[in-house]
Amino acid sequence: MSRIVVLGGCGGIGSVAVRALAAADGVDEIVIADQPSADPQAAARGFDRPGVIGVEVDASSTGSLTTAMADADVVVNCIGPFYRFGPPILQTAIDAGVNYVDVCDDLAPTRTMLEMDGAAKAAGVTALIGMGNSPGIANVIVRLCADQLLDQVESVDIMHVHGGEPVEGAAVIKHRIHAMDHPVPLFVDGQFIEVRQLDEDGQRFVREFDFRDVGRLPAYPYPHPETITLPQHIPGLRRATNLGVIFPLTYFRRTQELVRAGACSQEPLIVDGHAVVPLEFSVALLQRERPGLLAAAGVTGPGGCLAVHVSGLKNGQRHSYTFQLSSQEAGAGEGTGIPAAIGALLMLGSKIVGPGVLPPEAGVDPTTFLPLAFDIMHRLGVRAGGGLHVEHTGPDGTVTELPLAY
């Protein structure tokens, strides 16, 4: 009997991971584990499939987490914020001897979890971290280039956009604010540097890009982990950047304005005799204004695009590839939850390199991951803009579109 536990299985990302696992073959039992207020038992009853059950879990309690993980083959962690829950949940999985997958896109917990590699190896546990969209699919695409298309990968520029989801939770908005207000590591000319998205040094890296199925938008430096993991696993890499944006741009820039104004501090202010945390006020304000900003921009539903530009050498000549995976009807939930489920399925089938704590480029075989990912998307009815689109630029500057068998 195979058993996969999805922590945060009622949330925007976790619920998609559960649906993807339920649509797959070979999973006997899927456990939706979430806080009591999310009613995971009711979520489980919504599946017309045997073996889906709901259990309550307190993510801040090691005992509760250990109970939820009992008899699991793999645990998929979709509980954020990861700076709070990532390392302790991974530690619980290691102590329980359960293989682990998460969608962490925060830098600090990524570094902490990578340092737990020795403990995971000693316990015989394989932990695949950052198995979402960016990081996640982006890393797998870079690995594909290194394995099959280029003799030497020299530069990687990852760009992502999404927006239009029905709701955005407070944790998602706080994560975005954190990206705007904290140093962003980039790997440039073989060296790590730090910039800030809203400062002059960060503005130098802003890039206008034509995102397939979304449109032309500026992409800003984002503190995602690819820039610190890819240089460790792609020999000879000289550049790795990560840039992102949210649509509509009016909503993204409204958030930037609040950060610039100092309205996202966590230090309380006394207002009319009451302590007010500016960050909490700004998040509530953005949640209130968001529907109007989407309506004014004509946004009627979710969408998104991941673009990965990889350049390097083949037979001594320079080639570059631009990959785009896009959708006009699926957003961050599908883009992150489906790859996490695929990671768990590959883990279940012993297809992930291990043991230890691994980023996607170190543990996932692209030729195994990509066909399964598109099969699951098809089963869920998620149309990904016609598939994975690839443009190749040859040494003479000629641009051609390449067919892929996915």
The enclosing domain of 171 has a CATH number of 3.30.360.10
Res. 171 pLDDT band, cuts 50 70 90: confident
Residue 172 confidence (pLDDT): 85
Residue 386 has pLDDT above 60, yes or no: no
Q: What is the CATH number of the domain that holds 112?
A: 3.40.50.720
Model pLDDT for residues 12-36, shown as the tens digit of each residue: 899 999 999 999 999 999 999 999 9
**Residue 81's domain spans which residues?**
3-132+332-380
Mean pLDDT on 390-397: 96
The full 3-state SS of the chain, as one line of letters, equals CCEEEEECCCCCCHHHHHHHHHHCCCCCEEEEEECHHHCHHHHHHCCCCCCEEEEECCCCCHHHHHHHHCCCCEEEECCCCHHHHHHHHHHHHHHHCCEEEECCCCHHHHHHHHCCHHHHHHHCCEEECCCECCCEHHHHHHHHHHHHHCCEEEEEEEEEEEECCCCCCHHHHHHHHHHHHCEEEEEECCEEEEEECCCHHHHCCCEEEEECCCEEEEEEECCCCHHHHHHHHCCCCCEEEEEEEEECHHHHHHHHHHHHCCCCCCCCEEECCEEECHHHHHHHHHHHHHHHHHHHCCCCCCEEEEEEEEEEEECCEEEEEEEEEEECCCCHHHHHHHHHHHHHHHHHCCCCCCCEEECHHHHCCHHHHHHHHHHHHHHHCCCCCCCEEEEEECCCCCEEEECCCC
CA torsion angle for 6, 330, 254, 297 (degrees, to 10)? -160
Do 166 and 281 belong to one domain?
A: yes
**284 or 402: which carries more pLDDT confidence?**
284
Mean pLDDT on 362-388: 84
Do 291 and 191 belong to one domain?
A: yes
Mean pLDDT on 347-358: 95
Residue 27 confidence (pLDDT): 95
Model pLDDT for residues 137-150, shown as the tens digit of each residue: 999 999 999 999 99
Residue 232 confidence (pLDDT): 96
What total number of domains does the chain contain? 2
Do 156 and 288 belong to one domain?
A: yes
Do 338 and 201 belong to one domain?
A: no
Do 173 and 317 belong to one domain?
A: yes
Mean pLDDT on 124-149: 97
Residue 153 confidence (pLDDT): 98
Residue 385 confidence (pLDDT): 52
Do 323 and 398 belong to one domain?
A: yes
Model pLDDT for residues 253-265, shown as the tens digit of each residue: 999 999 999 999 9
Model pLDDT for residues 40-93, shown as the tens digit of each residue: 999 999 998 999 999 999 999 999 999 999 999 999 999 988 988 999 999 999
